[in-house]
A and B are shown apart, each in its own frame.
Chain A
């Protein structure tokens, strides 16, 4: 996928033209430094900005505006890596499917969400501030009812290295209560003005759309950051065994492994293959924990190459904990011992290649891949498509020996 770049004085625009979709996607990414105690504030800001702005001062006016514009999908997402990436995205119907002039109207409205927040005399609007705060309090309470969410965040929080994956990106109630409305506007624009700004456009755009984007970005400033792509982890000294009891019917087990000393090739190509053999669809965990032993409805693995982590998980009955834990670990041991059938490797590669091909059908996936290439120097979709097939069994076995169990976590359902 060949893309074009327009280098403006203070920012860059990355463009991928395709007429495959009826929609156009624009993402504007602001990258800046962050402290962990700012995470809740950033999440709060994202919700506040998307719910109203200085043109549509309340949720009803804002919704009306969305509907007048044929309901573009507008979102703000926060990613906390070594830097904070705040990604504002608009996906909207090409005006061929709406009305002439609506591309510009939609883009102007989108940038008003970013640059024209709902303030009164320079201070965030009190009414909307309180509404968003109530919403967050309610969300935090609902999260406490969700066993899968509890198990996921509480297990990862115990990883022994200080890596981004440990961060609970939802924020927390304590930090929410500390947010001061009077300080938010200054905080927000300080962040904006100290951010590296990049724009990503996918779809059947034209010169008018590019002009419209440029017109809206006249005030941004040039900032540059050196980005740390990956986090290496240290060898495990003591495995943490954690059992948390909660009033649920089902128990959930997490086994979290650190991967020590991965090479770039392992991180990019071998790790996804290893994960797929171990805990992808119809893989070792599925076949042995679920199908052969009927211990779980779901049992999978997942990984974060940025954080050098792989984890396995399963929903089980508490009385089956030891057996499930043993079987899950045994699946990894099988890989370490070289017990990988040829078809397991081929199937894993086929699955990954299919996933890549499917990405070409999604404007969101194309946009994400372009962002990854530009901002984190990740490979193109074509690279993955061509290179997964070069991964060998030996490479998978070698990588499996770099996995060290760091956390064994059980959310014990005691209902």
Chain B
């Protein structure tokens, strides 16, 4: 057990790794009424090929199984039901599944200690039956239909799908309707037993309660349960290479505005920098090149070439033979070719300045103060920071302070447009 001091924002985090492998991070905000806990499993939509615990061979699960499992953990053998339990204290409960993780959250001002214990208990006591699996299919099919109507989601899925050859980004987190219909209790238990182990999970808490009391509560709760020793996850390692799956794809949909996604794929080791530093530098780079401080964004709007501000994001993928960092740039334009040409010229013209770099760095630091201004903001910080390297430490914030322009110039020398993928979504008529 130790405290992680975040001097820059005058805050501290209590951290412990329990005997069963669970990472626990607790921030106390005693002036706040609200409490918030996130219980995270490192199991997501991409984890469909693995060797189940106790077996020898790889299995391939239907896509969407992590999300289906997430729904079903809300089912309990005995009363009270999860939703009913939390409703009693007016506590919000929810869960969400991403490509890499599944997160169970509770937040509310009342009854926190019991609520937290119940969170640990319901996530750690699965109860799947043929009947409750069947019941859930209708609900998830409706959710899938809702997702199908979300053009931005469909667009983003295609962007990711076209970047990777082996890693199964071609599968939706929620799965296709046929996948959902094919879910079985046996498969879901296999996934649960293979990934829902404390050593593959983390707990984040923001609370007005004493942080040591909360840690003690978690330890007591976990010590009463038996978990498999020498737990080992064997995910399929994909031989992903630097090439993209598809360089160009046009989607014809019932859309009113044409979306263009321009993505780049990089191998982390080609940059000679840590993952987190690279992500920070890329965000500053994209901000300077495409963000609101760039004349590029403004001039394209003035020319009528794009309809709204250019959007961008940076993502990373670890579970392959190499680690990849991807850059995504989004716009609305009716003239894809001209836009792409101007975009590419802009990205590689090496035109940046130290003054803008420092402005971005300064604001990245002040963002941490905004984060620590609310319970939700602190939770976003904790979960977000942990997602980079499965840890949070003093360096989490100090690293931003240490970013410097000369290093930035060095790192960006490796930036190139060699491995790109373009997706255009336009009106089918």
Contact = CB atoms under 8 A, between A and B. Distances in A.
A22 B307 CA distance: 36
Interface stretch (A82-90, A157-165, A175-183, A354-362): A354-362
Interface string A15-37: 00000111100000000000000
Contacts of B295: 60
Contacts of A261: none
Nearest to B299: A60
Interface stretch (B51-59, B116-124, B215-223, B355-363): B355-363
Nearest to B296: A60
B69 interface: no
A316 B142 contact: yes
A286 interface: yes
B87 A67 contact: no
B34 A60 contact: no
Given A23-B370, A282-B87, A354-B91, A67 B301 contact: no
Contacts of B293: 60, 63-64, 67
A63 B366 CA distance: 16
Nearest to A62: B292
A62 B292 CA distance: 9
A141 B257 contact: yes
Interface in A352-409: 352-355, 357-358, 360-363
Contact of B292 (A63, A127, A138, A357): A63
A127 B90 CA distance: 50
B321 interface: no
Interface stretch (A5-13, A233-241, A245-253, A263-271): A245-253
Q: How many interface residues does chain A have, given as a range?
A: 35 or more
Contact of A60 (B90, B109, B137, B292): B292
B101 to A, nearest CB: 21
B70 to A, nearest CB: 13
B393 interface: no
Interface residues of B, number: 61
A141 B256 contact: yes
B301 A250 contact: no
Contacts of B143: 297
A67 B307 contact: no
A314 B90 CA distance: 22
Nearest to B134: A294
B130 interface: no
A247 B87 CA distance: 37
B83 interface: yes
A153 B394 CA distance: 48
A63 B291 contact: yes
B333 to A, nearest CB: 10
B189 to A, nearest CB: 21
A138 B137 contact: no
A331 B87 CA distance: 18
B92 interface: yes
A134 to B, nearest CB: 6
A93 B139 contact: no
Contacts of A281: 83, 87, 92-93
Interface of B: 31-34, 83-84, 86-93, 107-110, 135-143, 145-146, 148-149, 151, 254-257, 291-295, 297-298, 301-302, 304, 307-308, 332, 359-360, 362-363, 366-367, 369-370, 372-375
